[in-house]
A and B are shown apart, each in its own frame.
Chain A
Amino acid sequence: MSTILLFGRLREEVGQSEFVFSEFTQGTVADLRSALASSEIGSSHTFISGQALVAVNQVIVDDSHLIQSSDEIAIFPPVTGG
């Protein structure tokens, strides 16, 4: 079970700033994306499992990164500050 933080457009579309994702505990970011794609939240918000960026412990990581059960996970769209 992982808690996933959401930001920006994703947070607004899903309607919450975080959600508990029981289908995932640990594995790679690619595993997380695939678990999200087949979940209820991922099927209604395809962006989550696709183009969205994934940060683990506040660092953007690629699909091969291994997520541990205690890690802070966040998913968000490409950034637009400045």
Chain B
Amino acid sequence: MISVQKDDFNVGFEYQNLRSVSQNEGAIVFFVGLVRDMNADGSVQAMEIEHYPGMTENVLSNIALQAKERWDLQQVKIIHRFGRLEAAEQIVFVATSSVHREAAFAACEFIMDFLKTKAPFWKKELNDQGDVWVEAKESDELKLTRW
């Protein structure tokens, strides 16, 4: 259900996995986050992602559990990568499945909002001018109030 890994993931493979253990789902929603090649200050060549082994997995499991308690979900899958990632590479995968699409869409957004503000990952952007640690955004914290 949760995977924190260095390796890339294959969305097609993950989708097929979700379908192979299908339990009367009517909807599968998934989100993929990528490394942007631009930020507000210019170009980004790559990103270094650090995490807190153990705590990161626990926090993600807890977020998935909260989503399952709140919506009628069949399956939840979260993959987040760490280490050096080049621009346009995949960072994060969140999938939810449910009988109805409303629950799957809402739970996927819920998981992403909490992942961004609670899971212990730290990003550093790498470019020609040097390395810059990404600052947490207040707007991400504000998004939690909708839940």
The residues of A with any CB-CB pair to B shorter than 8 Å are 5, 7-9, 11-12, 55, 58-60, 74, 76-82
Contact = CB atoms under 8 A, between A and B. Distances in A.
A60 B62 CA distance: 13
Which 9 residue pairs of A and B lie closest in terms of their CB atoms, listed nearest first? A81-B121, A8-B122, A78-B136, A58-B55, A82-B116, A9-B133, A80-B134, A80-B123, A81-B119
Contacts of A78: 135-136
Contacts of A79: 116-122, 136
Contact of A82 (B52, B55, B115): B115
B58 interface: yes
B80 interface: yes
B49 interface: yes
Contacts, number: 69
Interface of B: 33, 49-52, 54-55, 58, 80, 91-92, 112, 115-124, 133-136
28 contacts: A5-B52, A8-B50, A8-B124, A9-B133, A12-B133, A55-B120, A58-B54, A76-B120, A77-B133, A78-B136, A79-B118, A80-B116, A80-B121, A80-B123, A80-B135, A81-B49, A81-B80, A81-B115, A81-B116, A81-B120, A81-B121, A81-B123, A82-B91, A82-B92, A82-B112, A82-B115, A82-B116, A82-B121
B112 A74 contact: no
Contacts of A12: 133
A80 B122 contact: yes
A79 B117 CA distance: 6
A79 B92 CA distance: 15
B75 to A, nearest CB: 20
A82 B91 CA distance: 7
Given A80-B135, A81-B119, A82-B119, 13 more contacts: A7-B120, A9-B133, A58-B52, A58-B55, A60-B118, A77-B136, A78-B136, A80-B122, A81-B49, A81-B115, A81-B121, A82-B92, A82-B112
